[in-house]
Amino acid sequence: MGLLLPFPTTPTLFRRPPSSTIFLPLSRNILRCSAATLTTPQQQRNELDLENKKYDLLRVIQDTQRGLVTTPNQRSEIEESLVDLESYAAGDDEAIVDLGVLDGTWRLLYTSASDVLVLLDSSSKLPFFQVGPIFQKFECKGQDDGGYVRNVVRWSIPSLLEENEGATLLVSAKFSVVSRRNIFLEFEEIALQNIIISDELQALIAPALLPRSFFSLQILQAIRTFKAQIPVNSTSPGRRSVGGLYYLSYLDKNMLVGRAVGGGGVFVFSRAQNIL
């Protein structure tokens, strides 16, 4: 996908849902659906089967640190669970991307994309670099042919910036729907913004026990409002911007699975609160 990307260290105990109740443990929230709301026994079985497929996928990715730590056997099991879930969506040949459902913020749970994994790997090895939560934010409500997507990476430098979310790397792209489940991304801009310095650095710049000078206040204000932007779209006539094809293999109200066409990796997201 390109330029997209800590989970709780205590393992989460997943329990398969009983036949009378359907639930999906996602971002610590539980989605419950009473079987009584389903109109037919067949619909009930289909819904339960789908929730079990989603449960199986969450179970196999939960201890992978967003895809950083996996064995060959785990990767095989994850791919099997992905294909199993994607086959449910593929069963409806007439289904198209529902931009109303896609609209909103999605938090990364797992990826196999090398450009994201290198960030996670650097964070695990370098004491001066932390990667926090990673999101995709789609803006396409009320549209039927495309919109905008923002890849959001929260990161930090310990002792200098606020832990895990001291700065934001934002990669913006516009997208267009090119087929029932494929969207084409055209990247437009990379930005560094939302700098939040640590209390220790703030105390060094403007000690709390001393009167804050105009100069120190200007430094703090400049850091808070700092924003660096690098355009990546092409301005040459006839030349297409940097981009790629993104296949939305599964989408519902609380889970999104996408594949970067051309070997760019797979991405699994859960619905999150709006950001930015």
Per residue in 102-148, pLDDT (tens digit) is: 999 999 999 999 999 999 999 999 888 999 999 999 999 999 899 99
**Dihedral over alpha carbons 69, 71, 75, 80 (to 10 degrees):** -130
Give the separation between CA 165 and CA 149, rounded to whole angstroms.
Answer: 20
| Whole-number Å distance between alpha carbons of 138 and 267 | 15
Cα 274 to chain centroid distance, Å, stands at 12
List, for the chain, all residue ranges whose pLDDT scores fall below the cut of 70.
Answer: 1-39, 90-94, 208-216, 234-241, 276
Q: What is each CA distance from 83 to 15, 79, 270, in whole angstroms?
A: 22, 6, 17
Q: Let me know if domain 21-196+228-272 sits in CATH 2.40.128.280.
A: yes
SS3 state at 100: helix
Q: 187 near 241, Cβ under 8 Å?
A: yes
| CB-based contact 52:18 (threshold 8 Å) | no
Cβ pair 145, 176 in contact under 8 A = yes
Instruction: Domain ranges for the chain, please list them.
Output: 21-196+228-272
73-94 confidence digits (pLDDT tens):
999 999 999 999 998 876 665 6
Alpha-carbon gap, residue 187 to 137, rounded angstroms: 14
